[in-house]
Chain A
Protein backbone atom coordinates (compact mmCIF):
# COMPACT_ATOMS: atom_id res chain seq x y z
CA UNK A 1 0.00 0.00 0.00
CA UNK A 2 2.88 2.30 0.81
CA UNK A 3 4.20 2.13 -2.72
CA UNK A 4 0.78 2.94 -4.18
CA UNK A 5 0.35 5.93 -1.90
CA UNK A 6 3.76 7.23 -2.80
CA UNK A 7 2.85 7.04 -6.47
CA UNK A 8 -0.40 8.87 -5.90
CA UNK A 9 1.29 11.60 -3.86
CA UNK A 10 4.00 12.06 -6.42
CA UNK A 11 1.45 12.42 -9.17
CA UNK A 12 -0.64 14.93 -7.26
CA UNK A 13 2.00 17.01 -5.55
CA UNK A 14 5.25 16.96 -7.36
CA UNK A 15 6.97 16.88 -10.69
CA UNK A 16 10.44 15.57 -11.19
CA UNK A 17 13.28 17.69 -12.58
CA UNK A 18 13.09 18.05 -16.31
CA UNK A 19 9.31 18.01 -16.34
CA UNK A 20 8.97 21.76 -16.58
CA UNK A 21 9.34 22.46 -20.27
CA UNK A 22 8.06 26.00 -19.82
CA UNK A 23 11.31 27.18 -18.25
CA UNK A 24 13.16 26.83 -21.54
CA UNK A 25 12.73 28.77 -24.75
CA UNK A 26 11.03 25.93 -26.56
CA UNK A 27 7.56 27.24 -27.36
CA UNK A 28 6.15 24.64 -25.01
CA UNK A 29 3.87 25.12 -22.10
CA UNK A 30 4.69 23.09 -19.00
CA UNK A 31 4.76 19.31 -19.13
CA UNK A 32 3.22 17.58 -16.13
CA UNK A 33 2.11 14.13 -15.04
CA UNK A 34 -1.62 13.72 -15.51
CA UNK A 35 -2.07 10.15 -14.32
CA UNK A 36 -0.31 6.82 -13.91
CA UNK A 37 -2.05 3.60 -14.93
CA UNK A 38 -0.64 0.47 -13.39
CA UNK A 39 -3.70 -1.49 -12.27
CA UNK A 40 -7.26 -1.88 -13.50
CA UNK A 41 -8.43 0.29 -10.62
CA UNK A 42 -6.24 3.13 -11.83
CA UNK A 43 -8.24 3.16 -15.06
CA UNK A 44 -11.69 2.58 -13.64
CA UNK A 45 -11.18 5.43 -11.21
CA UNK A 46 -11.44 3.37 -8.03
CA UNK A 47 -7.69 3.10 -7.66
CA UNK A 48 -6.77 5.66 -5.04
CA UNK A 49 -9.63 5.09 -2.60
CA UNK A 50 -9.56 1.35 -3.12
CA UNK A 51 -5.86 1.16 -2.40
CA UNK A 52 -6.22 3.16 0.79
CA UNK A 53 -9.08 1.01 2.07
CA UNK A 54 -7.84 -2.42 1.15
CA UNK A 55 -4.11 -2.14 0.71
CA UNK A 56 -2.29 -4.75 -1.29
CA UNK A 57 -1.73 -4.93 -5.00
CA UNK A 58 -4.63 -4.77 -7.41
CA UNK A 59 -4.65 -6.78 -10.66
CA UNK A 60 -1.81 -5.56 -12.82
CA UNK A 61 -2.77 -4.16 -16.19
CA UNK A 62 0.39 -5.21 -17.97
CA UNK A 63 3.36 -7.50 -17.97
CA UNK A 64 5.72 -5.83 -20.43
CA UNK A 65 3.76 -3.16 -22.35
CA UNK A 66 5.36 -1.67 -25.43
CA UNK A 67 3.44 0.32 -28.09
CA UNK A 68 0.50 2.66 -27.66
CA UNK A 69 -2.15 4.52 -29.71
CA UNK A 70 -5.08 6.81 -28.99
CA UNK A 71 -8.41 6.24 -30.70
CA UNK A 72 -10.68 9.05 -29.58
CA UNK A 73 -10.72 9.02 -25.79
CA UNK A 74 -9.59 5.40 -25.66
CA UNK A 75 -6.01 4.28 -25.29
CA UNK A 76 -4.74 1.00 -26.72
CA UNK A 77 -1.54 -0.59 -25.46
CA UNK A 78 0.24 -3.65 -26.83
CA UNK A 79 1.75 -6.03 -24.31
CA UNK A 80 4.24 -8.43 -25.92
CA UNK A 81 4.89 -9.92 -22.48
CA UNK A 82 1.30 -11.22 -22.43
CA UNK A 83 1.01 -11.45 -26.21
CA UNK A 84 -2.05 -9.22 -26.26
CA UNK A 85 -3.57 -5.81 -26.88
CA UNK A 86 -5.30 -3.90 -24.07
CA UNK A 87 -7.94 -1.20 -24.54
CA UNK A 88 -8.30 1.43 -21.80
CA UNK A 89 -10.88 4.11 -21.22
CA UNK A 90 -11.11 6.08 -17.99
CA UNK A 91 -14.05 4.93 -15.88
CA UNK A 92 -14.44 1.63 -17.73
CA UNK A 93 -13.00 -1.81 -17.31
CA UNK A 94 -10.09 -2.64 -19.61
CA UNK A 95 -10.73 -4.84 -22.64
CA UNK A 96 -8.30 -7.28 -24.22
CA UNK A 97 -7.82 -8.95 -27.59
CA UNK A 98 -8.79 -12.59 -27.66
CA UNK A 99 -6.11 -15.08 -26.68
CA UNK A 100 -4.00 -16.23 -29.59
CA UNK A 101 -4.70 -13.23 -31.79
CA UNK A 102 -1.18 -11.89 -31.29
CA UNK A 103 2.26 -13.24 -30.53
CA UNK A 104 4.68 -10.32 -30.30
CA UNK A 105 2.77 -7.07 -30.88
CA UNK A 106 5.34 -4.28 -31.05
CA UNK A 107 3.65 -1.60 -33.13
CA UNK A 108 0.17 -0.05 -33.24
CA UNK A 109 -1.64 2.77 -34.98
CA UNK A 110 -5.22 3.92 -35.34
CA UNK A 111 -6.46 4.51 -38.87
CA UNK A 112 -9.98 5.18 -40.12
CA UNK A 113 -11.52 4.25 -36.77
CA UNK A 114 -9.75 0.88 -36.59
CA UNK A 115 -6.57 -0.38 -35.02
CA UNK A 116 -3.65 -1.92 -36.88
CA UNK A 117 -1.02 -3.91 -34.98
CA UNK A 118 2.29 -5.33 -36.18
CA UNK A 119 3.30 -8.76 -34.92
CA UNK A 120 7.05 -9.08 -35.42
CA UNK A 121 7.25 -12.81 -34.70
CA UNK A 122 4.47 -13.82 -37.06
CA UNK A 123 5.39 -11.26 -39.72
CA UNK A 124 1.85 -9.94 -40.02
CA UNK A 125 -0.31 -6.86 -39.59
CA UNK A 126 -3.56 -7.48 -37.70
CA UNK A 127 -6.65 -5.26 -37.82
CA UNK A 128 -8.93 -4.84 -34.79
CA UNK A 129 -12.20 -2.98 -34.29
CA UNK A 130 -12.21 -0.65 -31.26
CA UNK A 131 -14.09 -3.20 -29.12
CA UNK A 132 -11.34 -5.80 -29.81
CA UNK A 133 -13.98 -8.50 -30.26
CA UNK A 134 -12.53 -9.71 -33.54
CA UNK A 135 -9.29 -9.59 -35.46
CA UNK A 136 -8.16 -10.07 -39.03
CA UNK A 137 -4.71 -10.56 -40.49
CA UNK A 138 -4.58 -8.08 -43.34
CA UNK A 139 -0.97 -8.59 -44.47
CA UNK A 140 1.54 -11.39 -43.98
CA UNK A 141 4.96 -12.52 -45.08
CA UNK A 142 6.61 -9.36 -43.81
CA UNK A 143 10.21 -9.45 -42.58
CA UNK A 144 9.90 -8.61 -38.88
CA UNK A 145 7.34 -5.78 -39.07
CA UNK A 146 7.70 -3.32 -36.17
CA UNK A 147 6.75 0.34 -36.47
CA UNK A 148 3.43 1.27 -38.07
CA UNK A 149 1.88 4.68 -38.78
CA UNK A 150 -1.21 6.12 -40.39
CA UNK A 151 -0.45 9.35 -42.24
CA UNK A 152 -3.06 11.10 -44.35
CA UNK A 153 -5.11 7.90 -44.00
CA UNK A 154 -2.32 5.90 -45.63
CA UNK A 155 -0.81 2.95 -43.75
CA UNK A 156 2.98 2.61 -43.53
CA UNK A 157 4.81 -0.34 -41.96
CA UNK A 158 8.49 -0.85 -41.25
CA UNK A 159 9.92 -4.15 -42.45
CA UNK A 160 12.82 -4.08 -40.02
CA UNK A 161 14.34 -7.28 -41.36
CA UNK A 162 14.54 -5.77 -44.84
CA UNK A 163 15.49 -2.25 -43.69
CA UNK A 164 12.64 -0.59 -45.56
CA UNK A 165 9.22 1.05 -45.42
CA UNK A 166 6.22 -0.52 -47.10
CA UNK A 167 2.86 1.08 -47.77
CA UNK A 168 -0.20 -1.14 -47.42
CA UNK A 169 -3.51 -0.60 -49.17
CA UNK A 170 -6.23 -3.13 -48.52
CA UNK A 171 -3.62 -5.54 -47.16
CA UNK A 172 -1.46 -5.38 -50.28
CA UNK A 173 1.97 -3.80 -50.51
CA UNK A 174 1.70 -0.95 -53.01
CA UNK A 175 5.13 0.58 -52.56
CA UNK A 176 8.48 -0.06 -50.87
CA UNK A 177 11.35 2.27 -50.22
CA UNK A 178 14.65 2.09 -48.41
CA UNK A 179 17.56 -0.30 -48.35
CA UNK A 180 20.26 -1.19 -45.85
CA UNK A 181 22.97 1.41 -45.41
CA UNK A 182 24.11 4.57 -43.69
CA UNK A 183 23.44 7.17 -46.38
CA UNK A 184 20.40 9.43 -46.50
CA UNK A 185 17.36 7.37 -47.42
CA UNK A 186 19.03 4.16 -46.25
CA UNK A 187 18.26 2.36 -43.00
CA UNK A 188 19.84 -0.06 -40.57
CA UNK A 189 17.10 -1.92 -38.70
CA UNK A 190 14.50 0.87 -38.60
CA UNK A 191 11.97 0.17 -35.84
CA UNK A 192 9.89 3.31 -35.32
CA UNK A 193 7.72 5.39 -37.65
CA UNK A 194 5.43 8.36 -37.18
CA UNK A 195 4.23 11.19 -39.37
CA UNK A 196 1.80 13.95 -40.22
CA UNK A 197 0.67 15.99 -43.22
CA UNK A 198 2.56 14.26 -46.00
CA UNK A 199 5.72 13.52 -44.03
CA UNK A 200 7.23 10.51 -42.31
CA UNK A 201 9.73 10.35 -39.48
CA UNK A 202 11.57 7.04 -39.18
CA UNK A 203 13.57 5.91 -36.16
CA UNK A 204 16.60 4.36 -37.83
CA UNK A 205 17.51 2.36 -34.73
CA UNK A 206 20.91 0.90 -35.52
CA UNK A 207 22.04 4.08 -37.24
CA UNK A 208 20.95 5.91 -34.06
CA UNK A 209 19.16 8.68 -35.96
CA UNK A 210 15.81 9.88 -37.30
CA UNK A 211 15.16 10.36 -40.98
CA UNK A 212 12.45 12.67 -42.27
CA UNK A 213 10.96 12.07 -45.70
CA UNK A 214 7.85 12.66 -47.72
CA UNK A 215 5.29 9.88 -47.65
CA UNK A 216 6.45 8.99 -51.15
CA UNK A 217 9.96 8.33 -49.91
CA UNK A 218 11.82 11.50 -50.85
CA UNK A 219 14.41 12.17 -48.18
CA UNK A 220 14.14 15.57 -46.46
CA UNK A 221 16.58 15.55 -43.54
CA UNK A 222 18.43 13.44 -40.97
CA UNK A 223 19.10 14.19 -37.32
CA UNK A 224 20.29 12.46 -34.17
CA UNK A 225 23.33 10.48 -33.08
CA UNK A 226 24.43 7.86 -30.61
CA UNK A 227 25.51 9.14 -27.19
CA UNK A 228 24.67 9.15 -23.52
CA UNK A 229 23.42 12.70 -23.09
CA UNK A 230 19.87 14.04 -23.40
CA UNK A 231 18.93 14.40 -27.04
CA UNK A 232 21.11 11.51 -28.21
CA UNK A 233 19.51 8.25 -29.38
CA UNK A 234 21.34 5.23 -28.01
CA UNK A 235 18.26 3.03 -27.58
CA UNK A 236 15.17 4.53 -29.17
CA UNK A 237 11.89 2.74 -28.34
CA UNK A 238 9.09 5.18 -29.11
CA UNK A 239 8.41 7.94 -31.65
CA UNK A 240 5.50 10.32 -32.16
CA UNK A 241 4.78 13.67 -33.79
CA UNK A 242 2.69 16.29 -31.96
CA UNK A 243 0.18 18.72 -33.54
CA UNK A 244 2.87 21.40 -33.85
CA UNK A 245 5.17 19.06 -35.76
CA UNK A 246 7.55 18.37 -32.88
CA UNK A 247 9.08 14.90 -32.72
CA UNK A 248 8.93 13.01 -29.42
CA UNK A 249 11.29 10.12 -28.82
CA UNK A 250 11.64 7.79 -25.86
CA UNK A 251 15.00 6.24 -25.10
CA UNK A 252 15.32 3.12 -22.96
CA UNK A 253 19.00 3.67 -22.19
CA UNK A 254 18.56 7.23 -20.96
CA UNK A 255 15.10 6.63 -19.40
CA UNK A 256 14.02 9.96 -20.86
CA UNK A 257 11.73 11.42 -23.47
CA UNK A 258 13.41 13.85 -25.84
CA UNK A 259 11.51 16.43 -27.89
CA UNK A 260 12.87 17.86 -31.14
CA UNK A 261 11.35 20.36 -33.52
CA UNK A 262 10.58 19.10 -37.01
CA UNK A 263 14.00 20.21 -38.27
CA UNK A 264 15.69 18.09 -35.62
CA UNK A 265 16.63 20.83 -33.14
CA UNK A 266 16.66 19.37 -29.63
CA UNK A 267 14.13 21.28 -27.52
CA UNK A 268 13.87 19.58 -24.15
CA UNK A 269 13.93 16.29 -22.33
CA UNK A 270 11.39 14.90 -19.93
CA UNK A 271 11.82 12.48 -17.03
CA UNK A 272 14.56 10.49 -15.39
CA UNK A 273 15.20 6.92 -14.19
CA UNK A 274 12.95 5.62 -11.42
CA UNK A 275 9.47 4.43 -10.58
CA UNK A 276 7.75 7.60 -9.34
CA UNK A 277 5.55 9.93 -11.32
CA UNK A 278 7.47 11.40 -14.24
CA UNK A 279 10.16 8.76 -13.85
CA UNK A 280 10.72 5.90 -16.27
CA UNK A 281 12.28 2.47 -16.53
CA UNK A 282 12.65 1.46 -20.18
CA UNK A 283 10.19 3.97 -21.69
CA UNK A 284 8.80 2.69 -24.99
CA UNK A 285 5.77 3.69 -27.09
CA UNK A 286 4.50 7.28 -27.20
CA UNK A 287 1.07 8.45 -28.41
CA UNK A 288 -0.01 12.08 -28.51
CA UNK A 289 -3.62 13.22 -28.26
CA UNK A 290 -4.61 16.53 -29.81
CA UNK A 291 -5.94 17.69 -26.44
CA UNK A 292 -2.43 17.77 -25.00
CA UNK A 293 -2.21 14.36 -23.37
CA UNK A 294 0.90 12.35 -24.13
CA UNK A 295 0.75 8.65 -23.28
CA UNK A 296 4.13 7.08 -22.58
CA UNK A 297 4.56 3.35 -22.02
CA UNK A 298 6.82 2.83 -19.02
CA UNK A 299 7.70 -0.73 -19.87
CA UNK A 300 9.76 -2.08 -16.97
CA UNK A 301 7.49 -0.31 -14.48
CA UNK A 302 4.61 -2.17 -16.21
CA UNK A 303 2.47 0.94 -16.57
CA UNK A 304 1.43 3.82 -18.77
CA UNK A 305 2.03 7.38 -17.72
CA UNK A 306 -0.13 10.15 -19.12
CA UNK A 307 1.67 13.46 -19.36
CA UNK A 308 -0.13 16.70 -19.99
CA UNK A 309 1.32 19.40 -22.20
CA UNK A 310 -0.09 22.89 -21.72
CA UNK A 311 0.42 23.67 -25.39
CA UNK A 312 2.66 22.21 -28.05
CA UNK A 313 3.83 25.54 -29.47
CA UNK A 314 3.10 27.11 -32.82
CA UNK A 315 2.39 24.78 -35.71
CA UNK A 316 5.32 24.49 -38.08
Chain B
Protein backbone atom coordinates (compact mmCIF):
# COMPACT_ATOMS: atom_id res chain seq x y z
CA UNK B 1 0.00 0.00 0.00
CA UNK B 2 2.89 2.34 0.70
CA UNK B 3 3.64 2.84 -2.98
CA UNK B 4 0.05 3.56 -4.01
CA UNK B 5 0.01 7.19 -2.93
CA UNK B 6 3.34 8.18 -4.50
CA UNK B 7 2.42 6.28 -7.66
CA UNK B 8 -0.94 8.02 -7.90
CA UNK B 9 0.77 11.39 -7.45
CA UNK B 10 3.20 10.50 -10.20
CA UNK B 11 0.42 9.40 -12.53
CA UNK B 12 -1.52 12.58 -11.81
CA UNK B 13 1.56 14.66 -12.56
CA UNK B 14 1.95 12.93 -15.91
CA UNK B 15 -1.72 13.09 -16.78
CA UNK B 16 -2.28 16.69 -15.65
CA UNK B 17 0.95 18.61 -16.12
CA UNK B 18 1.14 22.19 -14.90
CA UNK B 19 0.30 24.82 -17.52
CA UNK B 20 3.19 25.36 -19.86
CA UNK B 21 4.94 22.21 -18.83
CA UNK B 22 3.97 19.65 -21.44
CA UNK B 23 5.81 17.10 -23.46
CA UNK B 24 3.88 18.23 -26.53
CA UNK B 25 4.24 21.79 -27.76
CA UNK B 26 0.46 22.11 -27.49
CA UNK B 27 0.67 22.28 -23.70
CA UNK B 28 3.59 24.72 -23.54
CA UNK B 29 3.79 28.50 -23.66
CA UNK B 30 5.11 28.13 -27.20
CA UNK B 31 1.56 27.29 -28.18
CA UNK B 32 0.58 30.83 -29.13
CA UNK B 33 -2.74 29.83 -30.66
CA UNK B 34 -6.08 30.76 -29.15
CA UNK B 35 -5.94 27.55 -27.11
CA UNK B 36 -2.47 28.17 -25.69
CA UNK B 37 -1.90 27.87 -21.93
CA UNK B 38 0.27 30.99 -21.51
CA UNK B 39 -0.53 34.64 -20.93
CA UNK B 40 0.44 35.48 -24.50
CA UNK B 41 -1.77 33.91 -27.12
CA UNK B 42 -3.60 34.76 -30.29
CA UNK B 43 -7.06 36.25 -30.47
CA UNK B 44 -7.84 34.62 -33.79
CA UNK B 45 -5.27 32.03 -34.93
CA UNK B 46 -6.25 28.51 -33.86
CA UNK B 47 -3.40 26.54 -35.41
CA UNK B 48 -0.53 25.69 -33.07
CA UNK B 49 2.35 25.08 -35.49
CA UNK B 50 1.67 28.06 -37.71
CA UNK B 51 3.48 30.62 -35.58
CA UNK B 52 6.78 29.00 -36.53
CA UNK B 53 6.20 26.58 -39.40
CA UNK B 54 4.32 26.72 -42.70
CA UNK B 55 4.15 23.99 -45.34
CA UNK B 56 3.85 26.09 -48.50
CA UNK B 57 5.54 29.45 -48.16
CA UNK B 58 8.40 29.11 -45.69
CA UNK B 59 10.84 31.96 -45.20
CA UNK B 60 13.57 29.34 -44.74
CA UNK B 61 13.51 25.83 -46.13
CA UNK B 62 14.56 24.25 -42.87
CA UNK B 63 12.72 23.77 -40.66
CA UNK B 64 9.91 25.05 -42.92
CA UNK B 65 10.27 28.29 -40.97
CA UNK B 66 7.33 30.63 -41.42
CA UNK B 67 7.74 33.42 -38.84
CA UNK B 68 9.21 36.72 -39.99
CA UNK B 69 12.91 36.96 -39.11
CA UNK B 70 14.47 39.74 -37.11
CA UNK B 71 16.27 42.39 -39.13
CA UNK B 72 18.72 43.20 -36.35
CA UNK B 73 22.10 43.14 -38.07
CA UNK B 74 24.31 43.29 -35.03
CA UNK B 75 23.64 42.05 -31.52
CA UNK B 76 25.84 42.89 -28.56
CA UNK B 77 27.38 39.53 -27.75
CA UNK B 78 29.19 38.07 -24.77
CA UNK B 79 32.86 38.80 -24.12
CA UNK B 80 34.98 35.67 -24.50
CA UNK B 81 38.21 34.87 -22.67
CA UNK B 82 39.47 33.17 -25.79
CA UNK B 83 37.80 34.18 -28.96
CA UNK B 84 37.87 33.58 -32.66
CA UNK B 85 36.92 37.22 -33.19
CA UNK B 86 39.42 40.02 -32.95
CA UNK B 87 37.20 42.09 -30.65
CA UNK B 88 37.19 39.24 -28.16
CA UNK B 89 33.42 38.81 -28.34
CA UNK B 90 31.28 35.86 -29.24
CA UNK B 91 30.22 35.76 -32.89
CA UNK B 92 26.90 37.09 -34.08
CA UNK B 93 24.08 34.59 -33.62
CA UNK B 94 23.34 32.44 -36.64
CA UNK B 95 21.56 29.23 -37.55
CA UNK B 96 18.68 28.14 -35.37
CA UNK B 97 19.47 30.85 -32.80
CA UNK B 98 18.28 33.45 -35.32
CA UNK B 99 14.96 31.63 -35.43
CA UNK B 100 14.58 31.89 -31.66
CA UNK B 101 15.49 35.57 -31.79
CA UNK B 102 12.79 36.21 -34.38
CA UNK B 103 10.44 36.39 -31.38
CA UNK B 104 12.71 36.67 -28.37
CA UNK B 105 14.74 39.76 -29.34
CA UNK B 106 11.48 41.68 -29.16
CA UNK B 107 11.79 43.45 -32.52
CA UNK B 108 9.34 41.31 -34.53
CA UNK B 109 5.63 41.03 -33.79
CA UNK B 110 4.77 37.62 -32.40
CA UNK B 111 1.95 37.31 -34.89
CA UNK B 112 4.05 38.32 -37.91
CA UNK B 113 3.64 35.17 -39.98
CA UNK B 114 6.22 35.96 -42.65
CA UNK B 115 4.89 35.60 -46.17
CA UNK B 116 1.34 35.02 -45.05
CA UNK B 117 -0.98 37.85 -46.05
CA UNK B 118 -2.70 37.68 -42.68
CA UNK B 119 -1.16 38.45 -39.32
CA UNK B 120 -2.25 36.90 -36.06
CA UNK B 121 -3.56 39.32 -33.44
CA UNK B 122 -2.23 38.67 -29.94
CA UNK B 123 -3.37 39.34 -26.42
CA UNK B 124 -1.81 42.50 -24.97
CA UNK B 125 1.34 43.69 -26.72
CA UNK B 126 2.08 42.39 -30.19
CA UNK B 127 5.77 42.22 -29.25
CA UNK B 128 7.69 40.37 -26.55
CA UNK B 129 8.49 43.53 -24.63
CA UNK B 130 11.25 44.16 -22.11
CA UNK B 131 10.46 42.80 -18.69
CA UNK B 132 8.28 39.97 -19.94
CA UNK B 133 9.41 36.42 -19.40
CA UNK B 134 11.18 35.21 -22.51
CA UNK B 135 12.33 38.64 -23.63
CA UNK B 136 16.05 38.59 -24.44
CA UNK B 137 16.44 41.80 -26.42
CA UNK B 138 19.38 42.64 -28.66
CA UNK B 139 22.01 42.63 -25.92
CA UNK B 140 23.04 39.01 -25.58
CA UNK B 141 26.14 39.75 -23.54
CA UNK B 142 24.61 38.66 -20.26
CA UNK B 143 23.90 35.12 -21.33
CA UNK B 144 25.78 32.08 -22.52
CA UNK B 145 27.31 32.75 -25.94
CA UNK B 146 25.67 31.02 -28.90
CA UNK B 147 26.79 30.15 -32.40
CA UNK B 148 30.22 29.20 -31.07
CA UNK B 149 31.90 26.12 -32.43
CA UNK B 150 32.87 23.37 -30.03
CA UNK B 151 36.54 22.33 -30.19
CA UNK B 152 37.00 19.08 -32.07
CA UNK B 153 39.14 17.54 -29.34
CA UNK B 154 42.46 18.14 -31.02
CA UNK B 155 43.21 21.11 -28.81
CA UNK B 156 43.92 23.26 -31.86
CA UNK B 157 40.74 25.30 -31.49
CA UNK B 158 41.32 26.39 -27.91
CA UNK B 159 38.70 26.17 -25.22
CA UNK B 160 40.94 24.42 -22.70
CA UNK B 161 40.66 27.31 -20.26
CA UNK B 162 36.88 26.90 -20.24
CA UNK B 163 37.22 23.28 -19.28
CA UNK B 164 35.45 22.21 -22.43
CA UNK B 165 34.96 18.58 -23.20
CA UNK B 166 35.63 17.38 -26.72
CA UNK B 167 32.97 17.77 -29.38
CA UNK B 168 32.74 14.00 -29.67
CA UNK B 169 31.88 13.67 -25.99
CA UNK B 170 29.32 16.46 -26.16
CA UNK B 171 27.71 14.91 -29.22
CA UNK B 172 27.36 11.65 -27.35
CA UNK B 173 25.03 13.33 -24.85
CA UNK B 174 21.43 12.32 -25.47
CA UNK B 175 19.90 15.68 -24.59
CA UNK B 176 22.35 18.49 -25.34
CA UNK B 177 22.65 18.96 -29.10
CA UNK B 178 25.11 20.82 -31.29
CA UNK B 179 23.94 21.97 -34.69
CA UNK B 180 25.05 20.50 -38.01
CA UNK B 181 28.22 22.60 -37.95
CA UNK B 182 29.14 21.56 -34.44
CA UNK B 183 28.03 24.89 -32.95
CA UNK B 184 26.34 25.62 -29.66
CA UNK B 185 22.98 27.23 -30.37
CA UNK B 186 19.97 28.11 -28.23
CA UNK B 187 18.62 24.69 -29.17
CA UNK B 188 21.63 23.02 -27.59
CA UNK B 189 20.05 23.50 -24.18
CA UNK B 190 16.45 24.36 -25.05
CA UNK B 191 13.94 22.20 -26.92
CA UNK B 192 11.27 24.57 -28.21
CA UNK B 193 8.74 21.74 -28.51
CA UNK B 194 9.00 20.24 -25.03
CA UNK B 195 8.93 21.84 -21.59
CA UNK B 196 8.93 18.90 -19.21
CA UNK B 197 11.82 20.08 -17.04
CA UNK B 198 10.69 23.62 -16.19
CA UNK B 199 10.72 24.47 -12.48
CA UNK B 200 9.96 28.05 -11.48
CA UNK B 201 13.12 29.81 -10.38
CA UNK B 202 15.24 26.69 -10.75
CA UNK B 203 15.12 25.29 -14.28
CA UNK B 204 14.42 27.52 -17.30
CA UNK B 205 11.61 26.90 -19.74
CA UNK B 206 12.19 24.29 -22.43
CA UNK B 207 15.39 23.08 -20.81
CA UNK B 208 16.70 19.76 -22.08
CA UNK B 209 18.05 18.66 -18.71
CA UNK B 210 16.37 18.26 -15.34
CA UNK B 211 18.88 20.59 -13.69
CA UNK B 212 21.01 23.47 -14.90
CA UNK B 213 24.10 21.77 -13.55
CA UNK B 214 23.57 18.76 -15.77
CA UNK B 215 23.45 21.00 -18.82
CA UNK B 216 26.68 22.78 -17.83
CA UNK B 217 28.45 19.48 -17.31
CA UNK B 218 27.45 18.21 -20.71
CA UNK B 219 30.06 20.58 -22.19
CA UNK B 220 32.23 21.77 -19.28
CA UNK B 221 34.33 19.58 -16.99
CA UNK B 222 34.57 20.18 -13.26
CA UNK B 223 38.13 21.01 -12.27
Contact = CB atoms under 8 A, between A and B. Distances in A.
Given A83-B117, A121-B117, A104 B56 contact: yes
Nearest to B115: A81
Contacts of A80: 56-57, 115
A282 interface: yes
Interface string B25-49: 0000000000000000000000000
A64 interface: yes
B125 interface: no
Nearest to A281: B61
B117 A191 contact: no
Interface in A268-316: 281-282, 284, 300
A66 B57 contact: yes
Nearest to B59: A64
A106 B56 contact: yes
B61 A252 contact: yes
B-side interface size class:
under 10
A66 B116 CA distance: 14
A104 B116 contact: yes
Contacts of A191: 55
B56 A103 contact: no
A35 interface: no
B118 interface: yes
B117 A64 contact: no
Interface string A51-77: 000000000000110100000000000
Nearest to B60: A300
Nearest to A105: B56
A246 interface: no
Contacts of B57: 64, 66, 80-81, 104
A120 interface: yes
Nearest to A66: B56
Contacts of B116: 104, 121
Interface string B46-71: 00000000011100010000000000
A281 B57 CA distance: 13
B61 A64 contact: no
Nearest to A255: B61
A15 to B, nearest CB: 24
Contacts of B56: 66, 80, 104, 106, 120, 146, 284
Contacts of A281: 61
Contacts of A81: 57, 115
Given A66-B56, A120-B56, A191-B55, A104 B61 contact: no
Nearest to A63: B115
A63 B58 CA distance: 12
Contacts of A64: 57, 115
Given A121-B118, A252-B61, 19 more contacts: A63-B115, A66-B56, A66-B57, A80-B57, A80-B115, A81-B57, A81-B115, A103-B117, A104-B56, A104-B57, A104-B116, A106-B56, A120-B56, A121-B116, A146-B56, A191-B55, A281-B61, A282-B61, A284-B56
10 contacts: A64-B115, A66-B57, A80-B56, A80-B115, A81-B115, A191-B55, A205-B55, A252-B61, A282-B61, A300-B61
